[in-house]
Structure 1
Amino acid sequence: MFPLNRLNSGFIVTSSNQTKQGLKTNTLVLYGLIKVKEMNFVAEELGFRSFGLSEDVFKGILDAGYTVPTPIQAQVIPVMLGGNAVVAQSMTGSGKTAAFALPMLERASRDKSRSDRYLVLTPSRELAEQVAAEIRRLGRHVGVRVAVFIGGKSIGRQAEWVSRGFDVAVGTPGRILDLYERGILDLGSVSEVILDECDRMLDMGFYEDVDRILRSTSARRVSFFSATIPEDVERLAHRYAADAKRIILDGDKQVETIEHYVIDVDERSKFWELERLLSGSNKSTIVFTATKSRSRWVAEKLSARGHRVAYINGDMPQTKREQTLWLFRQGRINLLVATELLARGIDIIELERVINFDVPQDVHAYTHRAGRTGRMGRRGEVISLVSPRDRQAFANIEVTLNMRIPPYPQR
């Protein structure tokens, strides 16, 4: 979704595909990025109004500062409003959360008895908190009750949330299953399930947990959202969403507002090349490493050299992880060293740069790391430090993406 201040009278959003849900469309969408051209048309006449959303839901959209749907939203929202499940593939940063949240909120606004319950599963605690915050923001005028069930939080406190009642539960598979097995959470009352970043969820070993959760619900609809649709996701979707509408927009294509660069280095000189890149720059940057111990080592060395930096990985307590992310979002620190924990779904809109201190081993991981920057039409850059042992993996990434990544220019 595009913020309201990015559009004004005289602009129209256009698409290379076809007219979407009554929108006047006649130009170009590349990799999910909406190109705009000047026309004698008022932007407010486009977009979310065409979906026939209730006034309470529409007020939430306006409060959030959004007016024009992204391509994934333009295709998913009318399908889900029509009562269908979806299997939706679209790149990171394309607006998938609102794509499933708005139909959910619309149904909740029409259900005066609030008899339906919705479950959103995410691969990480951070993403669960983020998704819940977005649903609360968009559903502010609907009065939707959103509960978050994740590890690192008190089971007793979460049991209290269940007893008070909720409309939407957002959580990680492990904690949701734990609450169910303790007899605290009744999955049988769940009428709709959303699997967000489902490929990452299954990569992390949650296949059996997710399968059991889905078998324990009475869900009429199960929808899958992700940037990639590998075989295990296909298998799960075939079992629980055989009749779902498939919406495949892009996959591993790279966002046009992101510039990709490579720096060839010896393994022993990687840190000094990183230090050279960061010196004299205040750009907000995430540095990705391969292991938890390496994230801490890099962060401590950068801190010793005077950088405003912190690290985040799966060994840290949840409260510490949340505090670190808050400091980064607030600009108190401008460097964050992280493992793959932050490569999926985490939305830091103004992130300017991603540095791969360690090259990921497959194209999906590269795509998700890169997707942390250049979000919602903003510009960003991805720089990979490639040592001899990384070259084969990096070459495979280039081949799969069908792109030749140029050397980082000397500046």
Structure 2
Amino acid sequence: MTKEKDKDKEILAVHTAFEQFNLDERLLRAVAFMGYERPTPIQDQAIPVALAGRDLMGAAQTGTGKTAAFGLPILQRVLTGKYERPVALILSPTRELAVQIEDAVKKYAKYTKLRILAVYGGVGYGPQLEGLKKGPDIIVATPGRLLDHVSKGALHLDTIQTLVLDEADRMLDMGFLPDVRRIIARVPKERQTMLFSATFPAEVLKLSKEILVNPATVTIGTRGSAARGLTHTAYPVPAHLKPDLLTELLYEVSSPAVLVFTRTKHRADRIQKMLSQKKFEVASLHSDRTQKQRMAALDGFKQGKHNVLVATDIAARGIDVTGITHVINYDLPATPEDYVHRTGRTARAERLGDAISLVAPDEEILLREIERHLGHGMTRAALNHFDYMVPAPEKANSLQKTSGTVGPQKKTFTSSHRRPSIPRKMGR
């Protein structure tokens, strides 16, 4: 008997707090197999509402367990009713998030024969068309590719019983509102709709009023607030010294998983090159990468092959990697909401995490806006051994010129010639 079969046998006797939801036994077995013992706050509040068939508006960040909050009720509905396929549609802003949702829902459906399929851009149509021909029960999709399949006649949405919009604020930020409206026009009016978002700007609130009918509202933490267990630290630094300070901070934290955010694709590539030259195991993630390259970067980061992942905001949306201890903002984001999304990649599922921001003089206004949004100031910090007085080179290059640019760095102190010590677990 294999180890997995042994575990299957063992969990038959396991009783978890998920039994309170009266889920199908096959779902309870899967939940126990995955090691879930008790629901997270959003699961505890959202699952009963979703099981009752009500529309739902959930205010929750990534890492709170919201995939199970809508995934388990959807599976329960499919298992206990007789519906034409597809029964449920889950919309995601990015292909990475779509893949992660598909993977999670498949795990919940481990002991069933239900079919779950993700369709997204950046890859060929062939395998997705084959999957659609088999009649999936649940479809996870990015809006653009979904509409491509609909326009080709490969998929019809008139059987959808449950519609989920995950990370709705990100979806609208990325310009998907017209596509979302086209999709909504194609699904039945009589349906259950669930909308999840970390922040609620005016566009999201307007959309929620249009598509939700007498919804229940589930709020985990303050809407738009940063995750609990997260420490916020700002490091004021001249723009031309950001590359060296980033390097020193990575030496200091000695973490197995650090996510570094930049504003541009060019900057992400230049920082990756710089850190690679300093012997860090690093990958970059941005929209110019092919789907294969993006998945390789993510998989390498998840598996510990890369200790540092440098990403832009759009490419990083939907990243769901456990164990990220630090998020470093090489550049401050354009909005406080983006700061919440960036830093929400750490301190997940009640863990601790650190959000570090390198703040050039011309970013102080942005920093104050973020602090007002958070409702508190950030700790200002400085590295004792770091020389902040090194003058800028006469002709600034693309790495050091301003806080908005990145290029080859000037070595300013001997410590930057050390080989990085990561991976090494960081004590808290």
- TM-score band, normalised by shorter chain: 0.7 to 0.9
Moved more, 398-407 or 339-348: 339-348
Q: Within 5 Å, give how 1:1-400 maps onto structure 2.
A: 47-111=17-81, 115=85, 117-218=87-188, 220-250=191-221, 251-279=223-251, 281-400=254-373
C-alpha separation in 2, matches of 1:231 and 1:85? 19
SS in 1 for 2:184: helix
CA distances 1:231-252 after superposition (whole Å, capped 9, x unpaired): 1112222111132222223212
C-alpha separation in 1, matches of 2:317 and 2:68? 16
C-alpha separation in 2, matches of 1:54 and 1:246? 25
SS in 1 for 2:37: strand
**Gapped regions of structure 2 (runs ≥ 5):** 1-13, 385-428
CA distances 1:181-238 after superposition (whole Å, capped 9, x unpaired): 1111111122211000011001100000000001111151121011112211122221
Q: Are 1:343 and 1:372, in contact at CA under 8 Å, matched by a contact in 2? A: no
SS in 1 for 2:373: helix
Distance change >3 Å, CA 131–CA 323, structure 1 → 2: same
C-alpha separation in 1, matches of 2:135 and 2:381? 53
Q: Are 1:148 and 1:169, in contact at CA under 8 Å, matched by a contact in 2? A: yes
Letter in 1 for 2:22: G
C-alpha separation in 1, matches of 2:352 and 2:55? 33
SS in 1 for 2:380: coil
Shift, 1:45, TM fit? 6.6
Letter in 1 for 2:249: L
Shift, 1:111, TM fit? 2.6
Shift, 1:341, TM fit? 2.7
TM-score normalised by L of structure 1: 0.86
SS in 2 for 1:169: strand
In terms of fraction of residues, the more strand-rich structure is 1
CA distances 1:259-285 after superposition (whole Å, capped 9, x unpaired): 111100011111110011112624310
C-alpha separation in 2, matches of 1:113 and 1:88? 26
SS in 1 for 2:44: helix
Q: Are 1:343 and 1:368, in contact at CA under 8 Å, matched by a contact in 2? A: no
State the match for 2:399 in structure 1: none
State the match for 2:3 in structure 1: none
State which structure, 1 or 2, has the greater radius of gyration over its C-alpha atoms: 2
C-alpha separation in 2, matches of 1:410 and 1:377? 28
CA distances 1:303-340 after superposition (whole Å, capped 9, x unpaired): 11111111110111101100111111110110110000
Distance change >3 Å, CA 114–CA 409, structure 1 → 2: farther
C-alpha separation in 2, matches of 1:104 and 1:142? 13
C-alpha separation in 2, matches of 1:286 and 1:185? 37
TM-score normalised by L of structure 2: 0.83
Q: Are 1:349 and 1:376, in contact at CA under 8 Å, matched by a contact in 2? A: no
C-alpha separation in 2, matches of 1:54 and 1:188? 26
Shift, 1:120, TM fit? 0.5
Letter in 2 for 1:80: A
Shift, 1:91, TM fit? 2.6
Q: Are 1:309 and 1:335, in contact at CA under 8 Å, matched by a contact in 2? A: yes
Q: Are 1:89 and 1:249, in contact at CA under 8 Å, matched by a contact in 2? A: yes
* Structure 1 residue ranges (4+ consecutive) displaced by more than 6 angstroms after TM superposition: none
C-alpha separation in 2, matches of 1:253 and 1:235? 20
What root-mean-square deviation, in Å, do the aligned CA atoms of Structure 1 and Structure 2 show? Answer: 1.6
Q: Are 2:330 and 2:357, in contact at CA under 8 Å, matched by a contact in 1? A: yes
